[in-house]
A and B are shown apart, each in its own frame.
Chain A
Amino acid sequence: MKDSGEYQPYSYFQLMEVSLRELLVEKGIVTEAQVAATVADMRARTPERGAKVVARAWTDDAFRNKLLANGSQAIEEIGIDVPALRLIVVENTPQTHNMVVCTLCSCYPRMLLGIPPDWYKSRSYRSRAVSEPRAVLAEFGLHIDEKTKIRVHDSTADMRYLVLPMRPAGTEGWSEERLASIVTRDCMIGVAVPKLA
């Protein structure tokens, strides 16, 4: 009766998920199709979407200004949908490095970048990013010198944050696509900076 593939017994929480979902479907609150569509939708939200935004900001000053003034609106205007996202874009400069954390839970610009990585939600990151940002960045391999200011943003309420990294030297004349390829998720959280491949 079983088709190919291994079966494993449900863990308590997996059992809870299946049970909750089936009850909600039985009660007409959601459908299996909606759940599947939402899973697919979230899967499609990846850091590449954020990288496009950064690359555009690097090559288009008017867009960059709009982005810094109203993040969500600027992004929607270039055709990237970010429902319910209230985004503040913070810009790295030679004098200032930005870093984002949610000490209270795991707030993250999910509708732009997708689901955050485990480490962003970890006790260590959430505790230490606010109180010892330089030490945490060093653990990520990013050394910010003492003369540069660090701004740590704690997403405690309704706003979400995207770091606009500095465009590295040596990228003159690059296409937006090529520029986007060096912007990683970690650059947009602020624990990395773009590197030339």
Chain B
Amino acid sequence: MGGLPAGKVEPTEHDYAEWERRVDALMVLLSGVKGAPKLMTVDELRKNIEALPPDAYERMSYYERWVTSITQVMIQRGVITTEELGRKMQEIGKRDGRKV
């Protein structure tokens, strides 16, 4: 991305939401930085983010890209299956939702 034309840098920051912090934490844990078994590398995380189609990349926020990528890696490595993920998302989707 370096050197491509781009607009003004907007000095935005946001206080990360709990779900975003949990995604970050999952990455720290799964990549073996802090004591959990190493199940993925940051390189696989980056590879999967780079593989996102350009319009999806632009539409998704930083941690949306991360959670997608981490989940892809878990499927690629056979830690979870697409089937398990689908069923779990269906099940949770039926619950009340998240407390704000």
A and B touch in the complex (CB under 8 A): yes
Residues of B within 8 A of A139 (CB): 8-9, 11
Residues of A within 8 A of B62 (CB): 106, 118, 121
Interface of A (DSSP majority class)? helix
Shortest distance in angstroms between A73's beta carbon and chain B's nearest beta carbon?
Answer: 18
* Cα distance A14–B64 in the bound complex, in angstroms: 8
Q: Given A23-B88, A27-B80 in contact, is the A42-B21 Cβ separation under 8 Å?
A: yes
Cβ contact within 8 Å between A131 and B80: no
The size class of the interface chain A forms with chain B is 35 or more
Cβ contact within 8 Å between A39 and B29: no
Cβ contact within 8 Å between A13 and B67: yes
Cβ contact within 8 Å between A117 and B13: yes
Residues of B within 8 A of A66 (CB): none
Contact flags (1/0) for B36-74 with A, using CB distance below 8 Å?
Answer: 110100000010010000000000101110011011001
* Cα distance A129–B24 in the bound complex, in angstroms: 25
Picked from A16, A84, A104, the residue with its CB within 8 Å of the CB of B33 is A84
Contact flags (1/0) for B85-98 with A, using CB distance below 8 Å?
Answer: 10011001100111
Residues of chain A from 114 to 134 with CB closer than 8 A to chain B in the complex: 115, 117-119, 121-131
* Cα distance A129–B1 in the bound complex, in angstroms: 11
Cβ contact within 8 Å between A34 and B29: yes
The reply on A78 being an interface residue by CB < 8 A is no
Shortest distance in angstroms between A130's beta carbon and chain B's nearest beta carbon?
Answer: 4
Cβ contact within 8 Å between B67 and A29: no
Picked from B13, B26, B36, B64, the residue with its CB within 8 Å of the CB of A119 is B13
Cβ contact within 8 Å between B14 and A118: yes
Cβ contact within 8 Å between A10 and B97: yes
Segment touching B, from A1-9, A52-60, A171-179 = A1-9
Cβ contact within 8 Å between A7 and B99: yes
Picked from B36, B49, B63, B89, the residue with its CB within 8 Å of the CB of A105 is B49
Q: Given A38-B34, A115-B16 in contact, is the A8-B97 Cβ separation under 8 Å?
A: yes
A–B complex contacts, Cβ < 8 Å, 9 sampled: A9-B97, A17-B23, A18-B92, A20-B74, A29-B79, A30-B30, A127-B5, A128-B6, A139-B11
A interface list, Cβ under 8 A from B: 1-3, 5-10, 13-24, 27, 29-30, 34-35, 38-39, 41-43, 83-84, 101, 103-106, 111, 115, 117-119, 121-131, 136, 139-140, 154
B interface list, Cβ under 8 A from A: 1-14, 16, 18-19, 21-26, 28-30, 33-34, 36-37, 39, 46, 49, 60, 62-64, 67-68, 70-71, 74, 79-80, 84-85, 88-89, 92-93, 96-100
The 4 closest A-B CB pairs, nearest first, are A103-B2, A38-B25, A127-B6, A117-B13
